[in-house]
Structure 1
Amino acid sequence: MSLKDAYVEKLKAQLDEWSADIDVLETKVRKADAELRIKYDEQVIALKEKRDLAKVKLAEVQSSAGEAWQELKKGSDEAWEAIKHALAEARKKFGE
């Protein structure tokens, strides 16, 4: 397995994990009272946007040729850090 393939597999696994985390948070939003639901709903929407951006970055890395994927890795890593941080903050706010 090439370094690119290993990197892509790692990112795919992390995306799957984050998608599951977002689903859990979304379930909590549905159970919250109306005032909290609005606040939490905004947070979940922001998380989904960051996740979608991470998916785009992953697709760019996957479709890159040769060593170009290493150039794209930086942007991908930045997107990953952003969603990682946002999920950590959301967990704190949701009381996990």
Structure 2
Amino acid sequence: MMTRVGYEKKAQLQLDTWNAQIDVLEAKLKVAEADAKLEFEEQLSKLYKARSDAEARLEELKSTSNEAWEDVKKGYEAAWGDMQSALKEAADRFA
């Protein structure tokens, strides 16, 4: 079983990876045609929200007591899944 510190480091690494993937999509947005830009912007908006939710859950995870950590971890894992789904959808659409 992964330790709390290990889990937090893994979660931070995943957020960093998502940020890099979002940067790639933002670069694609800058060169997209006008009609595609609207769709890109919509997908990026979803990604920003999912990333913000995941970041907030990670901060909550870092600051929670040991007693409540497992419950907060479940919430982060749900946010993590939402972020992965949103990124996959965006990447599939604009790859």
| TM-score, normalised by the number of residues in structure 2 | 0.95
- Unaligned stretches of 5+ residues in structure 1: none
Residue 41 of structure 2 corresponds to 41
Alignment of 1:22-37 (within 5 A): 22-37=22-37
Distance in 2 (alpha carbons) for counterparts of 1:73 and 1:22? 24
Residue 60 of structure 2 corresponds to 60
Distance in 2 (alpha carbons) for counterparts of 1:86 and 1:50? 7
**Structure 1 residue ranges (4+ consecutive) displaced by more than 3 angstroms after TM superposition:** none
Residue 94 of structure 1 corresponds to 94
Aligned residues: 94
| Corresponding letter in the other structure for 2:63 | S
Q: What root-mean-square deviation, in Å, do the aligned CA atoms of Structure 1 and Structure 2 show?
A: 1.0
- Unaligned stretches of 5+ residues in structure 2: none
| Corresponding letter in the other structure for 1:66 | N
* Partner SS, residue 67 of structure 1: coil
1:73 corresponds to 2:77: no
* Partner SS, residue 19 of structure 1: helix
* Partner SS, residue 66 of structure 2: coil
Identical aligned residues as a percent:
38
Distance in 2 (alpha carbons) for counterparts of 1:49 and 1:66? 28
CA displacement, residues 20-39 of structure 1 (integer Å, 9 cap, x when unaligned): 00010011011101000011
